[in-house]
């Protein structure tokens, strides 16, 4: 008797969700995050936690174990390597004569090598490798400065979803079959927006291709050596394994970094780390509510210690603040600040997102890290950007191009430059542009976290989303850009034009030689 309704139920449920192969069964998800930068993890964590909250079984190998994990979220902590938090000394940027992106490439390369070596030898990974092949339904990993973890994914035989906490690196495009168009897509390391002049485009073209090749020729072999030392010499090159990446989640959004041609296996999740407002502590709320002339927030993120500023620069900022009528809130790690004016409030730690979204906040002085830039875009706050390294120059250029930011070079910081930049950015046009960006940043067909969860389940349920993989991934770039066709058509045109020219020359030549005979 009971059987009939059960069968009906099963049939109805089966029909209701035809897409999902195993509707409802929790997935086993592995996260591999060997890079010790906490700002990167701020992008990964909401996805991993969101998966656990949705009922999936989540195992996370990272440097940042969750202090109060939700159910189904299990940490496999990497410990012992220096975490890149609050460790950047601003004095590093005082002499920036040759601190360009090629130097940065080698810095990233070294970090990648170290993180790879460390993770492959870690106890955390040994525990994960005890699982048999096919145990995990999907592996989510950071793809940044090394493809070392693709070797681990190969051992575990599970589909891979890549995460990038900044825009894609020059070496990430080919593996997803995405076009590199250096005429308007600025490379990560360039301080440019989509509007480039000829010099800018030439430099961008060169950087894109040079860095892509440097990665292939320098970073990939180093990762291969470590992976093959660990797992044996029959493991394919991680460069080949990287082409097996099913999906790429990238921390960008067109409203800020500009629209780009991305295949459907690259998903923009910019702003995923931004949570619902938590509510400010009462004293801070009162401070912000009562700031009748508005508030300027200065915060240079988690990696930079503000108290390592030189005295001249620190005094410049302090004196500029004293000349303003706005309230200035500064994330400052010391208890005291020499010559602190009355309209300045210092805090060692502050709830940046909630402060930024307060309607009285007029300008945000930032290092243009992607997290802070996204929060400014979300809350619609104009910025004075002082980029220092990595992708900050690119983010700053995007904020300026969108009309919601002013650039203030770190080496130029002084009372007058700070004053000028703040005055300019307090103009209404900046607030209007910021509001426009904010609207598009917030209003999406699906919120970033929902998109991420949907796609993770899709990749797991389709065994790696093979239909999403463009044939372009296996093509050489020579063929991909139709250069073979250009060569053949060029040759044909040369032959046709060449034979016409020689024909004309022969006719003219013979007629002129007749003439000379007559004479
Ligand atoms: C990896 O780490 C070990 C021990 O810390 C060290 O002896 C070895 O040289 C490192 N290998 C590479 C390739 O850096
Ligand atoms: C590529 O990924 C699929 C799963 O998505 C896996 O079955 C296959 O073995 C992988 N290929 C390599 C070379 O690891
Ligand atoms: C920060 O505080 C320490 C100790 O409290 C002090 O030695 C240092 O000079 C302070 N730095 C600045 C920039 O105020």
The closest ligand to the CA of 333 turns out to be 3
Q: How far is the CA of 91 from the centre of ligand 2 (A)?
A: 46
Judged against a pLDDT cut of 70, whether residue 358 lies above it is answered with yes
Which residues are within 8 A (CB) of 389 and not within 5 positions of it... i.e. 6 or more apart?
Answer: 88, 93, 99, 104
| Averaged pLDDT for residues 175-200 | 92
Q: How far is the CA of 126 from the centre of ligand 2 (A)?
A: 21
Q: How far is the CA of 336 from the centre of ligand 3 (A)?
A: 7
The model's pLDDT over 452-496, given as tens digits with 9 standing for 90+, comes to 999 999 999 999 999 999 999 999 999 999 999 999 999 999 999
Q: Do domains 22-273+446-474 and 282-442 have the same CATH topology?
A: yes
Cβ of 499 below 6 Å from ligand 3: no
DSSP structure string for 66-126: -SSPPTTEEEEE--SSPP-SS-EEGGGGT--SS--HHHHHHHHHHHHHHHHHHHHT-HHHH
The model's pLDDT over 313-330, given as tens digits with 9 standing for 90+, comes to 999 999 999 999 999 999
Cβ of 334 below 6 Å from ligand 3: yes
Cβ of 307 below 6 Å from ligand 3: yes
Q: Does the pTM exceed 0.95? A: no
Q: What is the DSSP letter of 471?
A: G
| Averaged pLDDT for residues 225-245 | 97
Tell me what pLDDT residue 515 has.
55
For the chain, which residues make up each domain, given as ranges?
22-273+446-474, 282-442
Dist CA 388 CA 398 (whole Å): 15
Ligand 3 atom closest to residue 314's alpha carbon, by position in its atom list: 13
Judged against a pLDDT cut of 80, whether residue 6 lies above it is answered with no
Ligand 3 atom closest to residue 333's alpha carbon, by position in its atom list: 1
Dist CA 152 CA 154 (whole Å): 5
345, β-bridge pairs: 329
Q: How far is the CA of 187 from the centre of ligand 2 (A)?
A: 30
Ligand 1 atom closest to residue 117's alpha carbon, by position in its atom list: 1
CATH T-level assignment (fold) for domain 22-273+446-474: Rossmann fold (3.40.50)
| Averaged pLDDT for residues 215-234 | 97
Ligand 1, pocket-test mutation among 78, 81, 117, most atoms within 8 A of CB? 117
Q: How far is the CA of 468 from the centre of ligand 2 (A)?
A: 14
Tell me what pLDDT residue 3 has.
42
- Model confidence at 11, pLDDT cuts 50, 70, 90, reads very low
Cβ of 25 below 6 Å from ligand 3: no
Which residues are within 8 A (CB) of 393 and not within 5 positions of it... i.e. 6 or more apart?
Answer: 189, 190, 191, 368, 387
Q: Is 389 strand, coil or helix?
A: coil
- Report the nearest-CA residue for atom 2 of ligand 1: 117
The closest ligand to the CA of 150 turns out to be 2
The closest ligand to the CA of 469 turns out to be 2
Burial code of 203-215, b = ≥16 C-beta within 10 A, e = fewer?
bbbebbeebbebb
Q: How far is the CA of 307 from the centre of ligand 3 (A)?
A: 7
CATH number of 282-442: 3.40.50.2000
Residue with tokens 């991305």: 262
């Amino acid at each position: 008797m009971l059987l009939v309704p059960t069968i009906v139920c099963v049939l109805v449920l089966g029909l209701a969700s035809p897409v999902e192969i195993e509707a409802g069964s929790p997935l086993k998800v592995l996260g591999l995050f060997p890079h010790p930068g906490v700002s990167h993890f701020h992008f990964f964590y909401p996805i991993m936690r969101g998966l656990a909250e949705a009922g999936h079984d989540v195992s996370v190998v990272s440097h940042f174990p969750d202090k109060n994990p939700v159910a189904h979220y299990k940490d496999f902590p990497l410990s012992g390597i220096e975490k890149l938090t609050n460790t950047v000394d601003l004095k590093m940027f005082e002499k920036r004569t040759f601190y360009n992106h090629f130097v940065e490439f080698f810095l990233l390369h070294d970090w990648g090598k170290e993180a790879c070596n460390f993770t492959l030898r870690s106890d955390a990974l040994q525990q994960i490798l005890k699982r048999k092949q096919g145990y995990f339904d999907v592996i989510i990993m950071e793809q940044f400065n090394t493809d070392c973890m693709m070797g681990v994914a190969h051992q575990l035989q599970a589909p891979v979803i890549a995460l990038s906490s900044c825009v894609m690196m020059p070496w990430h495009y080919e593996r997803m079959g995405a076009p590199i168009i250096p005429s308007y897509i600025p490379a990560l390391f360039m301080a440019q927006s989509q509007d480039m002049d000829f010099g800018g485009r030439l430099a961008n073209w060169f950087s894109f291709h040079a860095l892509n090749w440097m990665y292939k020729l320098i970073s990939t072999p180093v990762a291969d050596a470590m992976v093959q030392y660990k797992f044996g010499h029959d493991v394919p090159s991680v460069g080949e394994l990287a082409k097996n990446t099913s999906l790429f989640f990238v921390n960008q959004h067109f409203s800020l970094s500009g629209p780009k041609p991305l295949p459907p296996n690259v998903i923009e999740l910019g702003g995923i780390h931004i949570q619902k407002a938590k509510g400010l502590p009462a004293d801070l709320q009162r401070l912000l509510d009562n700031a009748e002339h508005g508030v300027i927030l200065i915060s240079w993120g988690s990696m930079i210690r503000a108290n390592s500023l030189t005295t001249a620069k620190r005094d410049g900022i302090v004196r500029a603040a004293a000349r303003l009528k706005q309230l200035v809130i500064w994330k400052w790690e010391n208890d005291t600040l020499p010559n602190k004016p009355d309209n300045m409030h210092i805090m060692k730690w502050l709830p940046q997102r909630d402060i930024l979204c307060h309607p009285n906040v007029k300008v945000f002085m930032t290092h243009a890290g992607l997290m802070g830039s996204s929060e400014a875009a979300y809350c619609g706050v104009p910025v004075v950007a002082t980029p220092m390294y990595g992708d900050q120059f690119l983010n700053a250029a995007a904020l300026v191009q969108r009309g919601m930011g002013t650039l203030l070079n770190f080496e130029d910081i002084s009372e007058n430059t700070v004053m000028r930049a703040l005055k300019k950015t307090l103009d209404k046009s900046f607030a209007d542009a910021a509001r426009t960006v904010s609207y598009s940043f917030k209003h999406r067909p699906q919120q970033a976290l929902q998109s991420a969860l949907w796609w993770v389940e899709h990749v797991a349920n389709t065994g790696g989303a093979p239909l999403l993989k463009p044939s372009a991934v296996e093509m050489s770039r020579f063929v991909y850009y139709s250069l073979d066709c250009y060569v053949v058509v060029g040759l044909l045109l040369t032959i046709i034009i060449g034979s016409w020219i020689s024909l004309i020359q022969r006719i003219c030549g013979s007629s002129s030689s007749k003439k000379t005979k007559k004479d």
